[in-house]
Structure 1
């Protein structure tokens, strides 16, 4: 079931190079998140000095961009599971062409981790681009990121085109919905997405929370109800889509090509059966229960360790108190001896002269 997600982020000075390496899985990020498949990486609109090594462009942005300036802007989008990897690449290329054209240097990558709740693919794309606008002038790395000179462009850097306004963000979100729906339709898929909020769509329900791997692991028993409600709603929506597909797959449009209609019917029949979805949900619930047991075990271990530390502190305190009492008793005995000696001096005989006082 296709889902809509489109968010925009901005990177500060010093973040461009590491982030480009992260989305491309280069350098120290090569083995990060082994369960998150890297499907594709692509760069474009790079200046001559970075055409063969796009990483140099993002490193130059970190080095030469002004201290409080942004070094990149990133569009993060969810991709339809229904599309093949090659079709997803085609989709992202289309979005990049419409959003950036030939005006901004970019690097984008498709990641495909496993969904935290129901398993299966969870493909998404990171579209990272420079706000610096290409104007056809050759500039070295240092000049490329200098302040723009309106009177003499050849003496300054590339002009910045910030897309940080609300209007630009809304336009990007709407464009992504249109591009995604166009590709879904092109490949004969019935799923569609909508960039509007649930309220604007006339849907009266609360937006579904994000259940990432970290949150699933931290879920408590009190939150089971929320998780179960989400899984049940997803199952209901899946059954609704399959029911519509069952209704449509038996109808053959005789006004068109009969062979194409049969092929379309066969494609719809190949959709995953309900028992496969239920099996995925059961596996997700089992995984969740395993996480809960593991967390319970960790909590018991933490409580046992805390009890051990408390016992150790109590034993240490008892030893300190015993030592203090022993020291006090020794001091008392010394005082008693000194008192007796002083009394003997006052009442006893003078041992040197033999006379009594």
Structure 2
């Protein structure tokens, strides 16, 4: 067996130059060009998905030179940066998403003798989409995301629907050229996915919202500024791009009903999340509402408490910690000082220990039943 670098078909063409309409010099040029190529497989986790041939999202190409050729490097770390920039007309947006997420992308640089140009070819694998059960996706909590005209407001929620940590905001600028807007959206979503992976959350909740059919004057009347604001919000494009990028990182995207998320979020979560050292916006409150709706919880903080003196009959509030949560039914911590119907402060008892509470017919010290003496009338 013989291995022919350049192809068996081109090697056989050497004996049939007239039929191929080639001269010997032309065939020799094509034969040599088939050896002028550079190929490197992709590596997930490396910067821009490839360590040998690195292509940045803006088209910059750099090559990692071997040690014998390190003296020809024109960039740090033994790299050679090409003067030209690469662009992908076919599936360029999908390639940019992979590069931003540091997913594996293989490249091949070759020379085309017919056109006299060098070409860069990118290739990658498309994994099969996995169907994740809702319970498994929400096992580690969820991140609620509220999409706005200039930023993404994100809040992390635990498994019980309670916000944890400070809200995060990922800003982007949708002015300028289409390439600039696309890059801004891609950077914001990349930061969001990196934060989700850092938190260990496997689900992101967004609104199932699209203003494509709601930009007309017949729907909003003379509200010109409002129509411009709605037209500038790429909600559908953001959701589609987030779904595409999250699928490769193992994060599930949950689309929820957008009805009243902003209004109810501001009503029930804006004030509780705000404080002297924390500034919470209504967009952060809407993100909490979106996350709770994805988890199946109502947006309001708590349900109506049971009526007075009927708590045993009514049961517990529905929006509380789960039955398996540690400390859910435990006693409250002891507070120093005198308390009503409880042991004195110097006694080492807990408020929830009812056996230690003093009652008129039971001794807290001995725990035995005693009959108190009653005065007899004369």
| TM-score when normalising by structure 1 | 0.19
Higher helix share: 1
Q: Which has the higher relative contact order, 1 or 2, with Cα contacts under 8 A spaced 6 or more apart?
A: 1
Structure with bigger gyration radius: 1
| TM-score when normalising by structure 2 | 0.18
